[in-house]
């Protein structure tokens, strides 16, 4: 039986168990901490920094930082909101994200976070990078224009599918998603139903011939803001 303890999140005491991260404890308590590179059932990547919270005065990634007894965590502050908003805006201008023409629209976590943060347009100039589309696989395509380098496909392919199809090449601003075959995705062992295909939060990895199976307007985030599933867990305190 794991040992329970409590800590403070935005001034309210919440319960956690040994081994939980701050994000897991917050999720359980019904408090949504923004995230993009985190995905249930794979190891946390700590890549996007969207989940940054302040723990006893220090900035930490909530998806990797273990919860511990008595810590004071701030998730909801003007400073963190501004930082997270800026991160999302940087992601939007760094790639080529044309939401109105993207099959992922309405199911895209980047778009959904942007809407939740009230971003109508980024404050920074678009960089319009030239990136390729890999359509060599019979069932799946990679559109590198939309990749936010979150690593979810990399970790899922390795940890869930036990295949290691995806990885990153180069470093820093030049980091790019790659597959383990120089001829492209079609030469890898990836299968259309692999968990890694579903792991992408944006429209960078998509199954072919499934476009608009669910009409725009009926998609996951068309009617419910991202994070609603977590916030619905919050119990209303007794009056």
Q: Is 148 in the site for ligand FES (CB under 6 A)?
A: no
Residue 167 contacts which entry, ligand FES, ligand SF4, none (Cβ below 5-8 A, type-dependent): none
Instruction: In whole angstroms, give the CA distance from residue 199 to residue 116.
Output: 21
If the CB atoms of residues 151 and 227 are measured against ligand SF4, the closer one turns out to be 151
Q: Is 117 in the site for ligand FES (CB under 6 A)?
A: no
Q: Is 35 in the site for ligand FES (CB under 6 A)?
A: yes
Residue 88 contacts which entry, ligand SF4, ligand FES, none (Cβ below 5-8 A, type-dependent): none
For 50-60, b where at least 16 C-beta lie within 10 A, e where not — what string?
A: bbbbebeeeeb
Q: Is 148 in the site for ligand SF4 (CB under 6 A)?
A: yes
Residue from 14, 26, 51, 110 in contact with ligand FES (CB under 6 A)? 51
Q: Is 61 in the site for ligand FES (CB under 6 A)?
A: yes
Report the site for ligand SF4 in 60-89 (rule: CB under 6 A).
Answer: none
Residue from 48, 63, 88, 153 in contact with ligand SF4 (CB under 6 A)? 153
Tokens describing residue 57 = 């005065």
Provide the terminal-to-terminal Cα distance of the chain, rounded to the nearest Å: 32
Look-up: residue for tokens 């985030």? 221
Over the window 107 to 146, marking each residue x when it contacts ligand SF4 by CB under 6 A and - when it does not, the resulting string is ----------------------------------------
Whether 150 contacts 48, CB under 8 Å:
yes
Helices (H), the chain: 22-29, 78-94, 109-116, 152-159, 195-198, 220-223, 228-231
Report the site for ligand SF4 in 33-62 (rule: CB under 6 A).
Answer: none
Torsion of Cα atoms, 51 then 112 then 176 then 24, to 10°: 30
Judged by the rule CB under 6 A, the positions of this chain that interact with ligand SF4 are 147-153, 177, 199-200, 202, 204-205
């Amino acid at each position: 039986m794991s040992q329970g303890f409590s800590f403070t999140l935005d001034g309210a005491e919440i319960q956690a168990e040994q081994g939980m991260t701050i994000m897991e404890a917050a999720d359980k308590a019904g408090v949504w901490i923004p995230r993009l590179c985190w995905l249930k059932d794979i190891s946390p990547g700590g890549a996007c920094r969207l989940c940054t919270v302040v723990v006893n005065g220090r900035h930490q990634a909530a998806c990797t930082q273990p919860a511990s007894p008595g810590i004071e965590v701030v998730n909801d502050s003007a400073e963190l909101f501004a930082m997270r908003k800026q991160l999302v805006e940087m992601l939007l201008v760094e790639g080529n994200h044309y939401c109105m023409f993207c099959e992922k629209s309405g199911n895209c976590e980047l778009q959904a976070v942007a809407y939740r943060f009230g971003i109508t347009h980024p404050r920074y100039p678009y960089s319009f990078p030239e990136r390729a589309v890999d359509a060599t696989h019979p069932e799946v395509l990679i559109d590198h224009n939309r990749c936010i380098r979150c690593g979810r496909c990399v970790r899922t392919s390795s940890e869930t599918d036990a295949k290691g199809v995806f990885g990153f090449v180069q470093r820093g601003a030049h980091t790019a998603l790659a597959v383990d075959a120089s001829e492209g995705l079609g030469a890898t062992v990836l299968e259309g139903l692999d968990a890694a295909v579903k792991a992408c939060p944006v429209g960078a990895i998509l199954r072919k011939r499934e476009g608009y199976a669910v009409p725009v307007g009926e998609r996951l985030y068309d009617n419910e803001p991202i994070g609603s599933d977590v916030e619905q867990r919050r119990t209303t305190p007794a009056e």
